[in-house]
Amino acid sequence: MRLIIAEKPSLARAIADALPGTPRKQEGAIAVGDTTVTWCLGHLLEQAPPDAYDPALKQWRLDTLPILPERWKLTPRPKARGQLAAIRKLLKTADEVVHAGDPDREGQLLVQEVIEYLGWKGRVSRLLVSDLNRPAVQRALARLEDNARYQPLYRAAESRSRADWLYGINLTRAWTLTGRQAGHDGVLSVGRVQTPVLGLVVRRDAEIRDFTPRPFFVLWADLAVAHGELRAWWAPGEHHPLDDQGRLLAREPAATLAERLPGAEGRLEALETQQKRQAAPLPYSLSALQVDAARRYGISAKVVLDTCQALYERHQLITYPRSDCRYLPEEHFAAAPSTLQSACRDDETLRGWLSGADFTRRSRAWNDTKVGAHHALAPTGRPMDPTRLSATEANVFRLIARNVLAQFYPTLSTREVKAEFRILEEIFRARGQEVLDPGWKPLFTTRDEAPPLPPLTEGEVCRVQEAGVEDRETRPPEPFNDASLIKAMMNIGRYVDDPAVRRTLREHDGLGTEATRAGIIETLVERGYLVRQGKALRATRLGSALIASLPEAVGRPERTALWEQRLTAIAEQNCAPGPFLDSLISDLRALLGAADANRLRQALHSAEGEEAKVPQRASRRRGTGRATSRGSKRRAPRRRQEGN
């Protein structure tokens, strides 16, 4: 009997439906001919708690830190014991095992750790399914690989799981116990990703709080030219008081010039015309979709993720959603016309977009060299029936379909014009844009970026009709919201001060993963470290105090971003897991030595932030709570290990 172990029941059903024969339901499995398909329920196993290594570690004490397991243990999740027993029974009669976890690092870990935990010693094949449609699953079944090829990916995921445990358990215990000495009765959760994300928000809030607005002044002049009118802006010279962005800091020079300008004549001294072509935005990765959906519809990253999961699993309208890739396999190009026509036929908006698609066009999106374990989000071809979807599901699906349809539209073609006038020996500049071919742009917006200038000829005369001075003020940065925080996590190198580290991060940008970023934000809200104010995400007093009390490196992104690089090196067989974990343990010892009750007490006393109702999730029986960096006696599902 061939046993296929899928990551989730929905994937198991899709695999069973794609096999030849009639599916027969069994306890915890589906049999089809000589193949049985079973499933995990997310993670069936989790890292064992500290007291599994030593019962004395159930009590939280500073003198037991750091906790460093010599031989790592996994333990079944309480609600997963039944399914784990079903897989154990099936393995006893199996001749062959097929690993059908999701096509990513965590999916490799999730199924393989079950296979190894249950003691299977035989050969294991790997099935990679990124699209639940029957033809796609059948193609995947015809391309089974040796699971040994993915052993480095498993080792990287295993290293991540163990490192998160070490980091989260030890730092959470240390700061929670130090917090008690400082008078805070509650768990202070620290994680290798969640805490740097919190640090981003705390520092942004501090920038806003400490910002001092500075006035600056701009002078405009409405000019009459040979073929129309335009507005130009004064470019003051360096002999005037300017800031580092060239803004005028004194009103008097602008006001004096404005009085002299009406009726004055000048000449167009320089004219620059540039024709530009812009390709359509690529199909979405999950994070890119979360950013756009938050901006367009104001929905949180977590809602976008949950919506995509529903579109993938329940409705089977889109391909695997937890993807960090924005490219599509080249083999999908030929099927794209029929796929998109089927997907869009029952929705008026999509039919309108479909009518403008030219399927003879081939964009840069179809590129096998850019596709890894999974590809960009795309429609599967199943018709989208808006009456069977929620409004949010329909809106998110339209975004996904739109970005794929846009690959079959012409490029956006524009003519950009920059004009420089000399009037009263001063320089005035104007710029405009003319759309030559809107291409894909109408699918995204009907708004022009800049109005076109009238036809201009270098050397022509202009006359000032009117002029005026505008009083403006510098503005603080905007507070983070779901869209901007997800974008910051995707492009974390922008928030790194060290130029060398920033250069390194250009190739390996990212804080968290496509699958975890939304959950990290929600976790910080649930724990009372962040609070939502409308669309804005602000740090609470507790969140600000935690960051202030920690060593600076714990609340900054450099450590975890470089950590991800090490994990990538393990996955690509360029690095062994041992040195990575040894380095982490060395760092942990130094960080634990920085736990200071006086510093934490002062941070709690002086913290500034928003007020929030903090969920009472931590055990009040001091020193008896189970050691998890989630800091909770109410056990949340741990699809991704602590500290993420």
Q: Which positions are catalytic?
A: 320
Check: CB of residue 42 under 8 Å from CB of residue 76.
no
Q: Which helix (H) or strand (E) holds 458?
A: none
Instruction: Write the single-letter amino acid at 351.
Output: R
Measured between alpha carbons, how far is 560 from 351 in angstroms, rounded to an integer?
44
Please identify which residue in the block is written with the tokens 């812009």: 278
What tokens were used for 449? 């970026």
Check: CB of residue 41 under 8 Å from CB of residue 12.
no
Residue length of the chain: 644
Reduced to 3 states (helix: H, G, I; strand: E, B; else coil), residue 193 is: coil
Count CB-CB contacts under 10 A for residue 22.
9
What tokens were used for 272? 């620059």
Measured between alpha carbons, how far is 324 from 299 in angstroms, rounded to an integer?
20
Reduced to 3 states (helix: H, G, I; strand: E, B; else coil), residue 77 is: coil
Backbone angles phi, psi at 636, to 5 degrees: -75, 155
Check: CB of residue 8 under 8 Å from CB of residue 41.
yes
Angle between helices 332-344 and 348-355 in degrees, nearest 10? 140
Ramachandran quadrant class, 269 (left: phi over 0; alpha: psi -120 to 50; beta: rest)? alpha
Burial class of residue 562 in the structure, from the number of CB atoms within 10 Å of its CB (0-12 exposed, 13-18 middle, 19+ buried): middle
Measured between alpha carbons, how far is 566 from 164 in angstroms, rounded to an integer?
14
Burial class of residue 300 in the structure, from the number of CB atoms within 10 Å of its CB (0-12 exposed, 13-18 middle, 19+ buried): buried
Please tell me what DSSP assigns to residue 248.
B
Partnered with residue 416 across adjacent β-strands are 274, 433
Count CB-CB contacts under 10 A for residue 596.
15
Check: CB of residue 481 under 8 Å from CB of residue 536.
yes
Burial 213-243 (b: 16+ CB within 10 A, else e): eeebbebbbbbbbeeeebbbebebeeeeeee
C-alpha closest to that of 394 among 350, 361, 353: 350
Count CB-CB contacts under 10 A for residue 104.
24
C-alpha closest to that of 84 among 59, 66, 53, 110: 110
Measured between alpha carbons, how far is 499 from 493 in angstroms, rounded to an integer?
9
Check: CB of residue 507 under 8 Å from CB of residue 570.
no
Please identify which residue in the block is written with the tokens 């009590």: 59
